[in-house]
Amino acid sequence: MNAKDWIVPLAILAAAAVLAPLPLVAGSYWMALLVNVLMYAVLATAWALFSGPTHYVSLATAAFFGLGAYTMAFLGEKLPLALVYPVAALIGAVIATIVGLSTLRLSGVYFVIFTFGLAELVRQLVTWAEAKYGGTVGRFVFIDVTQQGIYWMLLGVLVLVLLTGFLIQRSRLGWALKAIGEDETVARHAGIDTTVAKVAVFVISATFMTVVGAIMAPRWTYIDPSIAFNPIISFQVLIMALLGGAARLYGPILGVVPLATLFEILQANFPNSFSILLGLAFLVIVYFVPSGIVGLIDQGRDVLGRAGRRRAHPAE
């Protein structure tokens, strides 16, 4: 790597260094909001690692997030805490490999529906297993992780997912994904093993989502399948990434910050009509910002660039 290549990793680390001390000054309301923003920042960035370049829209976020949360609920008091996170990551990776190998031959709308069905299937399985063997559907999660601890862990994972995305984008794997998103047939005939490329990044993406679930579980104290596998998580992650723009590494975060804040405000003030307002937000975004904030930035840059060239060559 030459000097220029270090800019992005250094910028990521610098941003994290600025954000790291916030828990020392923020009150509990602000901490709750910040944790929520960070959680969605990791989920949306992880989502875009796979779905951004390939254009395979996944609604399986809640499935992996919930798996992570349940891993924590089951093992949090049985294993040393530091071990639960890697175990959750491993479970996420294994399940994602199985799911990836069996579904990534599907394309377009079939893939979307399958991933949505997957999240529901896992939720129903957990509900059934809990009712049959646990005797009760919900579970208390009494694990002593402070709000600050959760914040710092999420921040650390956010740095990791951004650095991972940065490395993937520059690699052959990143180019393979871009080619797949453009035209999968061309990609195969250009020599790309499309199955391996898709499964690899689907697994990386899902692993991050699972770890986020494990980190978040202690915050709720009580979880049941309808909380941990809430399909709204998948939809929110999708719409945040789309608002920001999934084509760039930093794009999803641009969508997460305003939307996570907005959803928080809506949920606090209009708890009964939240779903309606959420739906309206989706419609407005898809209608008015179809290529995301990143798309608007690029358009702006193009316009400025053209204006600049006109100034430089007034005769043209």
Partner 1 sequence: MQPLLELHGVSKAFGGLRAVDGLTASVRRGEVVGLVGPNGSGKTTALNLITGNLTADSGAILFEGRPIERAAAHRITRAGIARTFQLVRVMPSLTLAENVAVGAMFGARACSPAEAQERALPLLARVGLAARADERARSLTYIDQKRLELARALAAEPQLLLLDEWLAGLNPTELKDGIALIAALAADGMTIVMVEHVMDAIRALCTRCVVMNAGTKIAEGSPAEALSDPAVIKAYLGDDDA
Between strands 139-140 and 222-223, the pairing is antiparallel
4 interacts with partner 1 by CB under 8 A: no
Closer of 1 and 82 to partner 1 (Cβ): 1
Contact yes or no for 7/165 (Cβ under 8 A): no
188 interacts with partner 1 by CB under 8 A: yes
Count of chain residues binding partner 1 (CB under 8 A): 20
Piece of the chain touching partner 1 by CB under 8 A; list 56-64, 88-96, 120-128, 192-200: 192-200
74 sits in the region (left: phi over 0; alpha: psi -120 to 50; else beta) called alpha
Closer of 120 and 184 to partner 1 (Cβ): 184
Closer of 3 and 82 to partner 1 (Cβ): 3
Closer of 17 and 190 to partner 1 (Cβ): 190
Q: How far is the CB of 210 from partner 1 (least distance, A)?
A: 29
Q: How far is the CB of 300 from partner 1 (least distance, A)?
A: 18
Give the footprint of partner 1 on residues 62-81 (CB under 8 A): none
Binding mask 113-152 for partner 1 (x = CB under 8 A): ----------------------------------------
Q: How far is the CB of 178 from partner 1 (least distance, A)?
A: 7
Radius of gyration of the chain, Cα coordinates, nearest whole angstrom? 20
294 interacts with partner 1 by CB under 8 A: no
Q: How far is the CB of 301 from partner 1 (least distance, A)?
A: 15
CA–CA distance, 309 with 196 (Å, rounded to integer):
43
190 interacts with partner 1 by CB under 8 A: yes
CA–CA distance, 26 with 180 (Å, rounded to integer):
44
Give the footprint of partner 1 on residues 159-178 (CB under 8 A): 170-172, 174-176, 178
182 interacts with partner 1 by CB under 8 A: yes
Q: How far is the CB of 55 from partner 1 (least distance, A)?
A: 10
187 interacts with partner 1 by CB under 8 A: yes
Judged on CB neighbours under 10 Å (0-12, 13-18, 19+), 177 is buried
Q: Given candidates 83, 121, 193, 221, which one binds partner 1 under the rule CB under 8 A?
A: 193
5 interacts with partner 1 by CB under 8 A: no
Contacts made by residues 236-241, CB under 8 angstroms, sequence distance 24+: 236/40, 236/263, 236/278, 237/40, 237/43, 237/44, 237/47, 237/61, 238/47, 238/57, 238/59, 238/61, 239/281, 239/282, 239/285, 240/40, 240/44, 241/44, 241/45, 241/47, 241/48, 241/51, 241/52
Mark 203-242 as b/e (b = at least 16 C-beta within 10 Å).
Answer: bbbbbbbbbbbbbbbbbbeebbbeebbbbebbbbbbbbbb
Judged on CB neighbours under 10 Å (0-12, 13-18, 19+), 185 is exposed
Q: How far is the CB of 99 from partner 1 (least distance, A)?
A: 21
- Which residues bind to partner 1, rule: CB under 8 A? 170-172, 174-176, 178-179, 182-183, 185-194
